[in-house]
Chain A
């Protein structure tokens, strides 16, 4: 009985295995992408229709995992295209010499969207759509909990939103990194971090995946999420009781595509990029399941009413001029700081912020300078950042966090774990002390 069973399984497997192998390698295109099936299948189908005989393989990886995958497999590369949102990820790959330069043929695409150049100035990766971060919320949730609709990042720092907000971590999601960096650049290093900590103090959770945020808002795990626009727009289009808004401080950044170095199917890869940028391809971005801002202004003619158009509406994404070089100079440090100060110490931070909010509420209509002073001290403690902006961009300091050093001679002192531990000690103590001070202030009122 068992014998027959195993034989059958083996025979079936061999047969099935053969059929998998028989696929010709010629008419094929392997795309490493961070996009969900809604997006990838739509483009895959359209492209395969236009180029019969070509089979597109969409290889879904989270952006970070995709970068890792391309790095690990570089020696024997089988991927043709890397297709993802965050320009930083492309920068990393570019830095590791894993991308192939390419010049597009399509005309009519502007240089910039918002304040951001659409294409890589060095010619390695191309923007095909724009996206910006914003705030999405669950309308049922807000109604049930009687919460006002937020419009600006500052709104999210209000006590009323305590434990109702969710976001992802910049180290986990390239686009979240952009948002964090945007606020840091828009408000400056100190104030930017202060804003983030006040928002984070209201957070229910920091999700591991960027999709965890719209997922949580959609299902009502938390009411408000900091998400990239298409997550909000496509959730709404899928029928969830949610809505989305761009705050004034946001960056519109291009989502990108690039040919991988030593791509096995270079010609087809180029065709795919051209298709993506063509009128036809751009129109597909407005599919309700995708909902991304096209980079070709002509595509907006067919957009639904109230669909944001960054080429017309100058308020979107123009509030801050995003400095890509600055972002790059402190990329890993910002990620690490966010994790140490917020992600891994969320409970302590939440407790401290809650204590401050409670004390402030108690202070309302009271005149008590001593308590006021304590609250200010508590806030300072919470907001303190272990390093200043200059240090964060310091090349030598950054190299502690980098895998590949530009120059072998770059002096590295200290290890990431060592430095994070020092930060963590300070942060933990600060949050505890802040909680204590805020509680003390409250008891005085």
Chain B
């Protein structure tokens, strides 16, 4: 190891950032959980209250059930998409992958509104079913609705990770199993899926965590016997001293950390993804006639399902009145006209916040990944752990934490509290989305052989030059992937921003949509704004995807040529 002054400095800086914008604000909020409500003394009595309360036990169980079931349903959605697009020559695989990503870029509460209109008890589907077949299906009743909306919203996490893992499974692993007589589902169940397991577990853990912590969807569906809504309802009630909201926040954070830790444990020593010498990437197979039709039909059905929020939103944004009928009464462009003026500010704000946050995320994530996996710094693993732990912090908790911590801190030259400065929104988004970028960058760095770096250093490049000229270019695919994920999800974030927007001119799109959706005449307008958000973020995502695809193709093509030739 050479001198490490640079990495040490960067490491300390990152540690400081994480401390200031993650650890301290969260501690500021949750310490209330350890205070006696009457005397203010430190105590654990609130926790014993929590575990004794049947309502909280039920909420805990419901949250767990919903999170677990969402993983199951999301898997059912993601698995065929990932499998078919990664294993077979499939026309439009890139489009399918992009469409599969789109649910992520819609604020979940907007999705829930659209889903209610389509799948609610008196939504389009059930009205039609009732009229023609005389029965209805309770898609959206109680916990079902939450599971349904959440799995459709979050399944892309599984899709993305699983697709990547499937693409990284050495071809000969599968071929040798076929050679020994395995095929079809058995081949998938015994060989392909276990080998792609690390990617799947990573995606499934994310889904579990996001659903477990998510607030917007259960609130919008009026399901309140879950942990996150309970915490929120109790924290945001007027003047109530109930510390249970904070206790629940602690429980949420601790349980999420536990789930993260379990998934990390499950993955230990199971990284099969790196290609072995002499193996090769995936060779895509052809589907035969009947199979092809069946596969396309299945994928179309799934896409129709996962895009139903968008279909509903489109109808809503063009519809005049949509009330107790399968479709809107008539169509109009008025809603778009109405939001066009105000949308500009929301859009610039969103692009600015999400763009900055995603850029910071990629920079921080690359630095953390490098420090953790390429230096011998003491305590470096903790950077990874703490940055990842922000996954486990509900947005509301972080939002309140910032208000508490930074309200008394004035920004120099601006003379306003840091908590009401727009930059705090960027900071919140950066911290909230850092884990996504971090995982992408870590994965990218792990695929860069240390030998390539050693070769550069051997030829006289310093550590920083090597980083800049060899490591970063080779990681660029992963960095772009991290940027895209952070950007797309940050641009629809609401839970933390809703606490932090201090003036209308600072509000991002999701906030604007939420506002519009709070009035009878604003529903169509909110939907129109939502559509604009989806289109803008969708286009951004698609183009970044193309960039990644192109660089990836180039590399696989070279490898394939090299291999076919032997």
Are chains A and B touching directly in their complex (CB below 8 angstroms)?
yes
Is the C-beta of A383 less than 8 angstroms from some C-beta in chain B?
no
B116 in contact with A9 (CB, 8 Å): no
B residues 481-517 touching A (CB-CB < 8 Å): 498-499, 501-506, 515-517
Bound complex: CA A222 to CA B414 (Å) = 49
**A92 at the binding interface (Cβ < 8 Å):** yes
What CA separation (Å) do A141 and B325 show in the bound complex? 9
Nearest-neighbour CB distance to chain B for A230, whole angstroms, equals 9
Look across to chain A and name the residue whose beta carbon is closest to the beta carbon of B500.
A69
Q: Are A401 and B242 in contact (CB under 8 A)?
A: yes
- Considering the complex, give the chain B residue whose CB is closest to the CB of A221: B120
Interface: A1 (CB within 8 A) = yes
Contacts of B244 in A (CB 8 A): 416-417
In whole angstroms, what is the CA distance A73 to B408 when docked? 8
For B325, what are the chain A residues with a Cβ–Cβ distance below 8 Å? 140, 220
Please tell me which stretch of B86-94, B204-212, B216-224, B303-311 contacts chain A, meaning at least 4 of its Cβ atoms lie within 8 angstroms of it: B216-224
The answer to whether B521 touches A234, judged by C-beta atoms less than 8 angstroms apart, is: yes
- Does A67 lie within 8 Å of B523, measured CB to CB? no
With A73-B419, A75-B407, A402-B241 as given contacts, are A218 and B523 in contact (CB-CB < 8 Å)?
A: yes
- The interface residues of chain B lying within 8 Å CB-to-CB of A218 are 323, 520, 523
A73 x B420 contact (CB < 8 A)? yes
- Assess whether A64 is interfacial by the CB under 8 Å rule: yes
Known: A20-B506, A36-B515, A211-B519. A92 touches B239 (CB 8 A): yes
**For the complex, what is the distance from the CA of A75 to the CA of B416, rounded to whole Å?**
12
User: Closest B-chain residue to A96, C-beta based?
Assistant: B239
Our pick among B225, B420, B476 for the contact of A2 (Cβ within 8 Å) is: B476
Number of A-B contacts (CB under 8 A): 236
Q: Which chain B residues border A339 with CB–CB below 8 Å?
A: 233
User: In the complex, how many angstroms separate the beta carbon of B551 from the nearest chain A beta carbon?
Assistant: 9
Interface SS of A by simple majority: helix
Is B240 an interface residue when CB atoms closer than 8 A count as contact? yes
Interface residue from A36, A141, A400 paired with B518 (Cβ < 8 Å): A36
A141 and B122 within 8 A (CB): yes
User: In angstroms, how far is the closest chain A Cβ from the Cβ of B218?
Assistant: 8
CB B208 to nearest CB in A, in angstroms, measures: 23
CB A411 to nearest CB in B, in angstroms, measures 9
Please, how many angstroms separate the alpha-carbon atoms of A140 and B322 in the complex? 11
* A417 cross-chain contacts in B, Cβ below 8 A: 46, 49-50, 53, 242-244, 247
A134 to chain B, nearest CB (A): 15
Interface pair B352/A17, CB less than 8 Å apart: yes
Cβ of B24 within 8 Å of any chain A Cβ, yes or no, is: no
Q: Which residues of B contact A219 (CB under 8 A)?
A: 116-117, 120, 122, 322-324
Q: Which of B2-10, B186-194, B354-362, B378-386 contacts A (4 or more CB under 8 A)?
A: B354-362
* Min distance, Cβ B81 to any Cβ of chain A, angstroms: 27
Q: Write out the residue numbers on chain B whose beta carbons fall within 8 Å of the beta carbon of A238.
A: 321, 520-521
Q: Contacts A38-B521, A336-B240 given; 13 further ones with Cβ under 8 A? A: A39-B519, A58-B504, A73-B417, A75-B408, A76-B419, A174-B238, A238-B521, A400-B37, A403-B240, A417-B243, A418-B49, A424-B54, A424-B55
The 26 sampled A-B contact pairs (Cβ below 8 Å) are A2-B476, A2-B480, A58-B504, A60-B518, A72-B400, A73-B419, A76-B408, A76-B410, A140-B325, A171-B233, A172-B233, A208-B233, A211-B519, A215-B517, A215-B520, A219-B117, A220-B323, A220-B325, A221-B120, A235-B520, A238-B521, A343-B224, A401-B241, A415-B49, A417-B50, A421-B55
The 3 closest A-B pairs by CB, nearest first: A220-B324, A36-B519, A235-B520
B residues apposed to A, CB below 8 Å: 37-38, 45-46, 49-50, 52-55, 116-117, 120-123, 142, 219-220, 222, 224-225, 229, 233, 235-244, 247, 320-325, 342, 348, 352, 355-356, 359, 362-363, 400, 403-404, 407-408, 410, 414, 416-417, 419-420, 422-423, 472, 476, 479-480, 498-499, 501-506, 515-523, 547
A residues contacting B by CB (< 8 A) are 1-2, 6, 9-10, 12-13, 16-17, 20-21, 23, 30, 36-39, 57-60, 62-65, 67-69, 72-73, 75-76, 78, 88-89, 92, 95, 138, 140-141, 144, 171-172, 174, 204-209, 211-212, 214-215, 218-222, 231, 234-235, 237-242, 289, 331-332, 335-336, 339-340, 343-344, 347, 400-404, 412, 415-418, 420-421, 424-425, 428
